[in-house]
Structure 1
């Protein structure tokens, strides 16, 4: 499913009944305005459900009681593969057809490469709109993205941070062992996988070693920000903004706390660079921050990022690669628990490839089944919801890595050759961290299966594969699993 570059969380509008009477009062008092309001010309838009004045289809969605992607799936059966939804002041065009997606994102990519205007809350966390993720398509976005890709996310640069991944993987295994010892073999999968991904990105971003307390605090702040910017009802109905001063104040306070905290690490990095090895602190030879200090935001200008901009760019770098990777690992372990034969086959491949030593990044290229498992994971559980079309995939709801091993089915995950799956998006705004993310997922899955046998809790129970849309599609019921050390 491709949405209009905007996610919508059902939990964001839980307070809808509390303001419904207010909305109705505004509708009544504003009758003349409503009568003269025309909005987008519906004749030029794809079909979709009729909605109310001002609120559009918001009330219908809320009353459905469904996740947004579930609600859209029902509409797709009625209105077809391209449809229109109006959520308050926002009009969304939703595409759920592979050929249409390819036309929009690849063939006509320049026309659809920009981003919607940021909501007021999001703007609080995006100083001067200096971000790679949400900047409007233009010279600022191109400069920031080019810097990130060339200096941090190229294959050679990613390899240079192999030491950070090895350290994070070792800590991941020790954390799981410790948690299992303290809880009769039980571990929370997402918490541990997120921590490992976050640790790698922190090293890449700041280039300074952090104590565990600082890592935990940074993680908590980043998570709080993701929830703070999740779209709320007033983002779709600006007339409700006066009722939202408390939330805005909380967002401003969180932003101030974040800036104060992160600027300390920015200054620490500046000091380490000035000392050039004269400091006793443990520092990396290179970091994302290093590329930003003197970056000309617009070519030919003298403008460089302010400290507030640096905080925004670092936050974006950390958030983009943490929760999506953590969620992918959780879905992957869930599938291996539900498919013990696949888990055993993967362990056998790992054992035959590396013997008794730890899996290393160089081993991944030799493990065909591991690559197939990860590709099937990304097909079956992408970060954003995507239609499983039986005209494209045989038995699309089945977790079947052999579809890729045998060669009977395949897909270009970049979407360039055709959009059959797009776990990292497609076109000009495709995720710049795709290469790094796949390295992390392959390595984490391999190490976790090498070290532990994973099974359901309670024993013999079925894994609940229900999902929910937050900042990505995550497991509705967080996975707690039983682990048994292999050796």
Structure 2
């Protein structure tokens, strides 16, 4: 058999290799063409992306975004955090485009890490559920049956009782002379937590039970703090201890809450209410709820998840707003004086306690609360959004596996849309000189409760709580710094919500008519 000549061999080689090379080049260009046009961002390392650049900066994530990324990459940029892609927005117009103009597309949530999935029962909550029938059922039930204005009014006496209890706690903490100092956040948090527990379970609880529930639900929030294996799943085998800790906290949560669920169920079945029971609760709406074609209501673990969401979601957000609000009243005594003058004008010389029915006739109070939310939104970022299908935003591609994050301080203090944004000035709203729709529907200038279809369902209830507590606190007490004449430190830190880095302790002096 004759051997092929070298020329024929080379000819055959090129005949084979050229189509192969052409295919490789074609696939390479095709792949490049299909690569999404993501917003700009810092170059990352293989596998870990920008993860270690952020962690080794020595700055909290929100500060790194504000001081390093925003000045260099503009109003929209991309971060590769290990296996996760974050698209960060720092511009009001982009937030409006995403949440309002393209609201349905940007209305879902990204994939959860395994720890969060344990506590959310695989996204069986209003906040965590994917955009679809489960989310619609859960949200509709919460809003229509629990958070509508009519239903909220049914718990008015509970709020009045809790406000009176709060005032008594502050007086006791202030001591016999009644002039402080007192811890602001702890007292505000206890009052809101007590209200929401009763609304949720349908009966009031003694202080020891409230404190125990607070401890349990706080431990849930703490164990949900992000870990490096959330971004690098390949590291999860090295975090067995942390996963076991999360499982133990979940068990403690279930063990603490299920007896309360059973207690309410017995009340309804036996038609016998405790002396401290209410005729209606959030739990009542959940027992018979049928979600996504199910034949029965939520399981006990799912009920635990839903009631925990209800209580946790409305406690820290409003309590931290009160802490920031009192701090601003101390730092701006003229604002505190104006607010007290309005309270006094509304109640006159009757000596009655300010009530939630008075709020609508108190424009300065409304301006103070709105300015608190502008300057101090409950979180640095809205809850993470994701798209239901590949989309565009600001001319860039948003793939379905990306998390869309909105950096709220950049919007609330944007000098392009606010005059003197660094100043705490309720007069901007009271005078009508500036305005803002906190829902973002008519235009985004602040988003303390998120926006669009995933806006916080408890916005109305939080507003009632915040207005009422700020008014009562100013009616009952004159607030000043502790130690006297000390300057208020407005640096914040992340602890589920944005709290003051140095928790506020203030001197309270009872008003003459409240003694």
TM-score by length of 1: 0.90
* Match among 129, 133, 145 for residue 127 of structure 2: 133
Aligned to 1:9: none
Structure 1 residues 398-448: Cα deviation after superposition (integer angstroms, max 9, x where no partner):
000000011111010000001100110000000000000000000000111
Q: 1:166 to 1:184 in 2, by over 3 A?
A: closer
Structure 1 residues 64-91: Cα deviation after superposition (integer angstroms, max 9, x where no partner):
2112121111211111100001111111
- Asked whether 1:403 is paired with 2:403, we answer no
Moved over 2 A (4+): 38-43, 279-282
- Asked whether 1:453 is paired with 2:478, we answer yes
Aligned to 2:300: 307
2:147 counterpart SS class: coil
Aligned to 2:188: 193
* Contact kept? 2:179, 2:509, Cα under 8 Å: no
Quote the Cα distance in structure 1 between the aligned partners of 2:464 and 2:256: 30
1:44 counterpart SS class: coil
Residue 184 of structure 1 deviates from its aligned partner by 6.4
Residue 368 of structure 1 deviates from its aligned partner by 1.0
Q: 1:457 to 1:41 in 2, by over 3 A?
A: farther
- Asked whether 1:154 is paired with 2:141, we answer no
- Asked whether 1:88 is paired with 2:82, we answer yes
Q: 1:353 to 1:40 in 2, by over 3 A?
A: farther
Moved more, 386-395 or 471-480: 471-480
Aligned to 1:221: 216
Residue 196 of structure 1 deviates from its aligned partner by 0.6
Quote the Cα distance in structure 2 between the aligned partners of 1:69 and 1:379: 17
Aligned to 1:3: none
* Contact kept? 1:105, 1:428, Cα under 8 Å: yes
Moved more, 284-293 or 377-386: 377-386
Aligned to 2:38: 45
Aligned to 2:173: 179
Residue 153 of structure 1 deviates from its aligned partner by 0.3
Structure 1 residues 378-406: Cα deviation after superposition (integer angstroms, max 9, x where no partner):
11101122112100000111000000011
Structure 1 residues 161-211: Cα deviation after superposition (integer angstroms, max 9, x where no partner):
101111110111111111111796111110000011111101110001211
Q: 1:51 to 1:42 in 2, by over 3 A?
A: farther
Residue 127 of structure 1 deviates from its aligned partner by 1.7
- Asked whether 1:56 is paired with 2:49, we answer yes
* Contact kept? 1:128, 1:309, Cα under 8 Å: no
Residue 261 of structure 1 deviates from its aligned partner by 1.2
Residue 281 of structure 1 deviates from its aligned partner by 4.1
Structure 1 residues 110-147: Cα deviation after superposition (integer angstroms, max 9, x where no partner):
11111111111111111242111101111001000000
Where do 1:70-149 residues align within 5 Å? 70-74=63-67, 75-149=69-143
Where do 1:87-486 residues align within 5 Å? 87-181=81-175, 185-277=180-272, 279-298=273-292, 300-355=293-348, 356-385=351-380, 386=408, 387=410, 388-486=413-511
Structure 1 residues 342-386: Cα deviation after superposition (integer angstroms, max 9, x where no partner):
001111110111132111111111111111000111111011221
Residue 54 of structure 1 deviates from its aligned partner by 1.5
Quote the Cα distance in structure 2 between the aligned partners of 1:285 and 1:184: 39
* Contact kept? 1:230, 1:470, Cα under 8 Å: no
1:94 counterpart SS class: strand
Q: 1:267 to 1:281 in 2, by over 3 A?
A: farther
Residue 39 of structure 1 deviates from its aligned partner by 12
* Contact kept? 2:103, 2:453, Cα under 8 Å: yes
* Contact kept? 1:337, 1:454, Cα under 8 Å: yes
Q: 1:426 to 1:191 in 2, by over 3 A?
A: same
Aligned to 1:28: none
* Contact kept? 1:83, 1:95, Cα under 8 Å: yes
**RMSD of aligned Cα (Å):** 1.6
Unaligned runs of 5+ in 1: 1-37
Quote the Cα distance in structure 2 between the aligned partners of 1:201 and 1:41: 49
* Contact kept? 2:365, 2:467, Cα under 8 Å: yes
Structure whose alpha-carbon radius of gyration is higher: 2
